[in-house]
């Protein structure tokens, strides 16, 4: 830090004049005062206003007849701003002061040391009349946060690993590391050797496994080749086939309704679609269609029971209406136990047969329970 113009106080100038006249020995500057206040510096100043700290870790020397170099150190963990400085003689006299109004001269934080260094120039050769309490600067012990003097550790101290106040040289560090790392390196070498042996054993196992799988693959390929050599061929109604080298299709042709009606094709299978749909209702009275291979024309068989009135004509309705008058109707039955009666069965009147029913005449004197069967057609188009 340099470039500051200090003002020498009247008391400081008097002491300097006495030293030059030989009345006293050379004056001795022994401390540096610090203040955070902005000070109106004048020759009449006898104390630094707002002074909060005085540093006596102070040293200096004359570098020429007119220039003095001074250095001060604060290695504390304090934090502060400085706007004004003062130089004090050994007897406490304020020798010179400086202040700046623009802003702090410097700012100290708790993790840093304050090192103040300044050159003071005089207009006359008076540097020889000023002395310092410490002829050489007092360097502090070196720490992790402070620059200073440190001692080089011996090999024994390095090996002991207990001293945290000395500096280790590369040679001593290399010697210690070689000693510490030797067993570790040997352990790594032993581990590498063991793993190498394990890898060799694993390689052998893997080789045997590969050979076994190769043999198994060859056997499987033989089975696949034998399977591909086989063929599938159609027979009877089934056509298609071939080797298993590719996908094959076996086919059975379906007979159409026309094929079923023609009744001549021998290479087709009859399906429900070719026969036509079936309608049915199963009970004492019911019906069922007969497949004819013609979905548009269903032949239907109907049946049922009815009670025929005595000596009268009884009308009967089919469970399902035909599309046209029934082809044929047959009715019969009687509850009578008199086997001597010759005209005790109901008879269908053919001229009464319609699409929806028929009429039957019973010659018995009482009503009789009868059954019927009818065959007809339903147009399903």
* Pairwise pLDDT comparison (173 vs 277), residue with the higher score: 173
Distance CA 371, CA 118 (A): 143
Mean pLDDT of the chain: 84
Residue 6, pLDDT > 50, answer: yes
Residue 328: phi, psi to the nearest 5? -155, 145
**pLDDT tens for residues 290-318?**
877 776 788 999 999 999 998 899 999 99
CA-CA distance, 354 to 305, in Å (whole number)?
A: 17
CA dihedral of 90, 92, 97, 101, whole degrees rounded to 10: 130
Strand intervals (E) in 151-223: 151-152, 166-167
Is the confidence at residue 141, as pLDDT, over 70?
A: no
Instruction: Quote the pLDDT of residue 135.
Output: 44
Mean per-residue pLDDT, 164-177? 87
Q: List the structure tokens of 119.
A: 């050159």
Please report where in the chains the tokens 């509850």 appear, as a residue.
335
Least-confidence region, from 75-79, 98-102, 262-266, 303-307: 262-266
Render pLDDT for 239-259 as a digit per residue (tens, 0 to 9): 888 887 788 888 989 887 777
pLDDT given at position 234: 80
Each residue of 213-224: pLDDT tens digit?
A: 999 999 999 998
Query: With 90 as the cut, is the pLDDT of residue 188 above it?
Result: yes
Per-residue pLDDT at 349 exceeds 80 = yes
Measured CA to CA, the distance from residue 275 to residue 283 in angstroms comes to: 24
Residues linked to residue 86 through DSSP beta bridges, in sequence order: 33, 97
List the single range of 28-37, 75-84, 89-98, 147-156 with lowest mean pLDDT.
147-156
Report d(CA 320, CA 337) in Å as an integer. Answer: 33
Band of residue 3 on the pLDDT scale cut at 50, 70, 90: low
> Which domains are delineated in the chain?
7-132 (no CATH), 142-175 (no CATH), 232-273 (no CATH), 276-379 (2.60.40.3940)
Instruction: For residue 151, give the nearest of 132, 172, 135 by alpha carbon.
Output: 172
Is residue 68 over pLDDT 80?
Answer: no
Residue with tokens 């013609």: 294
pLDDT surpassing 90 at residue 321? yes
Please tell me which residue, 65 or 176, carries the higher pLDDT value: 176
Percentage of the chain lying above the pLDDT 90 cut? 37
pLDDT band at 138 (very low <50, low <70, confident <90, very high): very low
- Whether the pLDDT of residue 94 is over 90: the answer is yes
Residues 6+ apart with CB under 8 A from 102: none
Residues 92 and 133: their CA atoms lie apart, in Å, by 13
């Amino acid at each position: 830090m340099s470039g500051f113009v200090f003002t020498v106080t009247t008391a400081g100038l008097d002491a300097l004049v006495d030293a030059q006249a030989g009345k006293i020995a050379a004056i001795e500057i022994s401390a540096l005062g610090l203040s955070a206040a902005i000070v109106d510096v004048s020759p009449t100043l006898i104390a630094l206003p707002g002074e909060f700290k005085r540093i006596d870790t102070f040293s200096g020397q004359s570098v020429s007849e007119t220039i003095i170099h001074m250095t001060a150190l604060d290695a504390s963990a304090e934090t502060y701003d400085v706007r004004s400085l003062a130089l004090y003689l050994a007897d406490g006299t304020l020798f010179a002061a400086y202040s700046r109004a623009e802003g702090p001269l410097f700012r100290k934080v708790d993790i840093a040391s304050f090192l103040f260094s300044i050159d003071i120039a005089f207009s006359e050769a008076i540097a020889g009349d000023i002395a310092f309490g410490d002829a050489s600067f007092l360097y502090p012990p070196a720490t992790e946060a402070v620059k200073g003097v440190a001692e080089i550790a011996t090999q024994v101290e390095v090996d002991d690993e207990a001293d945290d106040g000395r500096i280790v040289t590369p040679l001593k560090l290399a010697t210690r590391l070689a000693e510490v790392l030797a067993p570790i390196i040997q352990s790594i070498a032993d581990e590498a050797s063991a793993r190498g042996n394990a890898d060799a054993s694993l390689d052998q196992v893997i080789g045997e496994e590969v050979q076994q799988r190769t043999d198994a693959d060859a056997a499987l390929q033989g089975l696949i080749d034998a399977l591909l050599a086989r063929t599938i061929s159609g027979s009877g109604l089934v056509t298609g086939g071939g080797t298993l080298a590719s996908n094959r299709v076996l086919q059975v042709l379906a007979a159409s309704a026309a094929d079923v009606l023609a009744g001549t094709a021998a290479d087709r299978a009859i399906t429900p679609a070719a026969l036509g749909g079936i309608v049915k209702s199963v009970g004492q009275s019911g019906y069922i269609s007969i497949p004819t291979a013609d979905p548009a024309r269903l032949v239907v068989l109907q049946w049922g029971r009815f009670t025929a009135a005595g000596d009268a004509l009884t009308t009967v309705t089919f469970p399902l209406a035909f599309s046209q008058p029934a082809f044929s109707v047959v009715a019969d039955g009687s509850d009578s136990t008199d086997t001597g009666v010759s005209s005790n069965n109901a008879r269908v009147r053919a001229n009464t047969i319609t699409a929806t029913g028929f009429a039957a005449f019973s010659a018995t004197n009482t009503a009789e329970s009868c059954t019927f069967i009818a065959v007809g057609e339903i147009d399903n188009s």
